Structure 1
Amino acid sequence: MKGIFTLAASAIVLMATQASAQDLRVAVYTGSEAHLKLLNELAEGFKASHPGVNVRFETIPVTDYTQKLSFQVAGGNAPDVAWMMEDAAPAFIKAGILADLKPTLEAYPDYNLADFTEPGMALWRDEEKVYGVPFSTSPFLIYYNKAMFDQAGLEDPAQLAAKGEWNMTTFQEISKKLVEANPGKWALEFKDGEGYGARMTHAFLPPIRAYGGDLWEDGKCGFDSPAAVQAVQQLHDMVFVDKTIVPPGEQGDYFSGSSAMTVNQISRASKMAEAGFDWGIAPLPTGPGGEEAPVIGQAGFVVFESSANKELAAELVAEMTTPQSVTALAQFFPPARQSVLASDAFINNNALLSPDIMQTVAAAIQDGRVHPAHEKVPQIFAAMKPRVDALWRADADVGKSLQAICASIQPLL
């Protein structure tokens, strides 16, 4: 990745010649028709006030989004604007290839940059500069298949959470009952079915946080902490002993009804209209002692320094993150704007989700912590991957495997 960014920095002049003066390319990692329809509607408002400008959204699959975006940058074909995942943001900022958006945002009519929460903006600021604007500050939540819980005669996660009984111990116990009552089905699928690959940290983080640990913090690896060992051992047991979590090499798509639960974010609610089963959303299970540790996934709009239309691209980002635009986006992407988060429109007017669910989302945003980020996260993930692969074997020593992960990434942290 360092070589890619070095090449990108030296190719800025070449990149600046690639884009049409009135054609803005926006890279996104969603292929959802509902998402793209809304994005294009917001772009229409921008085009109305900028005659002759065209805005084109280009979908890159989420599983290799950051890598392909990096290749575009290195090849002199960077988009003008892009969605940026929280774990990749520090690397792109450190490389010096993102534009400072602050002057444009502060000058944009009725924008109010101060409306964004400080925790929400922390990842995207570097001293006085603003390199991105979060459009999604989305807590990780449990999606569940209500029919499969009813088949097992079980209270669902939302009911258990309301009683204060939705914790990691209960989660493991009911998972066993779910697979017994629903033969051929799984109790849990990791986020987007990618818990062993592209989303490996998204599989680890919720339980590790529930037990009081973290992946890394303040330059120190946390995978080998007692909390992390306890959490990952439980996951390992559920995969290989209980056989309740979809194992490596198999597919258990929650959205097609083959898994009772998955961990995901509000944006995936757009897929539920076609699911064909009764469903619900609940908070993540707490730690054994009832500790809550919501996990936030974040994504922001960024503009590349290489854009031939950098100022126009920055204005597009401003237009798509005004209070009005954020209110529209909030049906899929929970906001970091305080005014929108506290609004009746956010809590009560979501076409897909009930006010109770939206209250859960709002509380998790207020109390949660963003997924750990680092400027060397591509190298960290590459170093982790073979050690994570070794962990997900039936005969693996979980403690030693986690020590090996720390040994591989600590020099990078």
Structure 2
Amino acid sequence: MVGVGALGTTALAACSDDGGAGEEAPEGPVELRMTVWTASEDHLGLFQEIADAYVADHPDEVSAVTFETIPFDGYTTSLTTQLAGGNPPDLAWIFESNAPEFVQSGALVDVRETLSSTEGYDFEDVGETALELWQDGDALYAYPFSNSPFVMFVNTDRIAGSGQPNPADLVASDGWTYDAARDISAASAAALGGAGLVVRDFDYMNWTNLATVWGGWDAEPWSADGATSEFDSPEMVDALEWFHDAIFTQNAIPGPGTSADFFAGDTTMTITQISRASSLDGSFAWDIVPLPAGPTQQQNIVGQAGVGVLAAGKNPQAAANFLAYFTNPENSASLSLYFPPPRESLLNPETLAAGNPVFSEPQLGIVIDSISGATTKPSHANFAQVDTTARGALDAMWTPDADVAAVAADVSEAIQPLLEA
């Protein structure tokens, strides 16, 4: 996918200078447009309900709010094209992977003052760690409306049918590790057929989803400042060698070209986000457990999305005011039906149960624990180009006789110039 990086930070920065916050406020009520990547009727219906209530309460400021769905796969490309073409939305969802580029480019408006000064907003309730990716100094350039944790879904029918230990019991005894998950997965696949462990949506392409694995080795693809590749670090090489062996030696993970869907019932366990629970149809018994521990640590990972106000938009202050309403405590509680919130007061089983009825209270406790102190998937100011380059260089790793350390070194060499760009 061609993303922000293909059009360049320069294009984003240019868009931010085309007016927006610098223009005179329009006379009379304005229409606001917000881009999203969901096409769910339930999601869009809730958004519109919140927006219509805001319009009714602020008829002199806003006459209408519309939500424009852009397909997930091409979302960032389409959003950046709108910006470059002079047709920016007023507000937009932004992937965590592209957050640094949007934040650093000046394409977004600082909304901290608007949010923190809005009566009843209770800005202090928003977890500080959830804000980190969207801040630059004291400025806040987007609100992290969704913080969806990755957990391990387990088919307990397959676990019992293959005589393997229950992961929940291993969690209780501090024995829930990646090695244990690998061994259980390999044994169940050997006994029952199907697949063992699947990192959902990885598909040997979306390599950043492997952060849910390499976090257990305390590995990172690049340094905290984004300037230096760490893809060839000992920690990353050890994690990738573990993953490679689990595929080609232990047969615990299905190899390239193999289709395996946990929710079809023929896979023992899968790493994925809690929103996938909507695919469960009751055809098998299941459970969720935290991500396993690696040899170094147990690391929680979230996929995060922010809502930002575009500096090039025609109505930045009106958009920021609407964002404050859209994400206030009451509306955040409603949005938590679908999007795990960053508000600490809402991270409790009672609130989350309303939007996740298939989860038991203990399972919702796991969800909450998986959000607390979590890190986000990899992000970078030049993410689109780094992502494409790393994906291509990693292709050589997905063969049985691959030299994992050599491939990791090749990936590191390939992305280093892009990290410095």
Q: Same fold, TM exceeding 0.5? A: yes
Distance 2:403 2:282 in 1: 38
Distance 2:110 2:57 in 1: 23
Partner of 1:200: 207
Distance 1:392 1:56 in 2: 44
- Indicate the SS of the match to 1:40: helix
C-alpha contact 1:60 1:68 (8 A) present in aligned 2: yes
C-alpha contact 1:257 1:275 (8 A) present in aligned 2: no
Verify: 1:186 aligned to 2:192, yes or no. no
Distance 1:247 1:343, change over 3 A: closer
- 1:251 aligned partner, one-letter code: S
The within-5 A match list for 1:11-410 is 11=15, 22-51=30-59, 53-183=63-193, 185-192=194-201, 194-197=202-205, 199-203=206-210, 205-218=211-224, 219-272=227-280, 274=281, 276-288=283-295, 291-341=297-347, 344-346=350-352, 350-410=356-416
Verify: 1:6 aligned to 2:10, yes or no. yes
Distance 1:275 1:33 in 2: 23
C-alpha contact 2:349 2:361 (8 A) present in aligned 1: no
- Indicate the SS of the match to 1:216: coil
What displacement does 1:15 show? 8.8
Distance 1:372 1:212 in 2: 13
What displacement does 1:152 show? 2.0
Cα deviation code 1:177-213 (max 9, x no counterpart): 2212332x22233233x3422x21112x122111232
- 2:290 aligned partner, one-letter code: P
What displacement does 1:275 show? 6.4
Cα deviation code 1:140-172 (max 9, x no counterpart): 111222333233233443332223221011111
Distance 1:66 1:321 in 2: 22
Cα deviation code 1:242-293 (max 9, x no counterpart): 3332332333222333433222222223333x4643332210111146x311
Distance 1:47 1:275 in 2: 41
- 2:264 aligned partner, one-letter code: S
- Indicate the SS of the match to 1:332: coil
Distance 1:196 1:179 in 2: 20
What displacement does 1:131 show? 0.4
C-alpha contact 2:12 2:106 (8 A) present in aligned 1: no
C-alpha contact 2:97 2:380 (8 A) present in aligned 1: yes
Distance 2:314 2:233 in 1: 48
Distance 2:12 2:223 in 1: 29
What displacement does 1:346 show? 4.1
Name the count of aligned residue pairs. 406
Distance 1:328 1:296 in 2: 20
What displacement does 1:2 show? 6.4
Distance 1:222 1:8, change over 3 A: closer
- Indicate the SS of the match to 1:395: coil
Distance 1:358 1:70, change over 3 A: same
RMSD: 2.8
Distance 1:320 1:251, change over 3 A: farther
Between stretches 402-411 and 148-157, larger displacement belongs to 148-157
- Indicate the SS of the match to 1:302: strand
What displacement does 1:90 show? 0.6
C-alpha contact 2:349 2:365 (8 A) present in aligned 1: no
Normalised by the size of structure 1, how large is the TM-score?
0.88
Distance 2:269 2:30 in 1: 45
What displacement does 1:365 show? 2.1
Question: Unpaired runs of 5+ in structure 2?
Answer: none
C-alpha contact 2:231 2:412 (8 A) present in aligned 1: yes
What displacement does 1:111 show? 0.6
Identity of aligned residues (%): 34
Distance 1:146 1:29 in 2: 33
Question: Unpaired runs of 5+ in structure 1?
Answer: none
C-alpha contact 1:4 1:71 (8 A) present in aligned 2: no
Normalised by the size of structure 2, how large is the TM-score?
0.87
Distance 1:319 1:258 in 2: 44
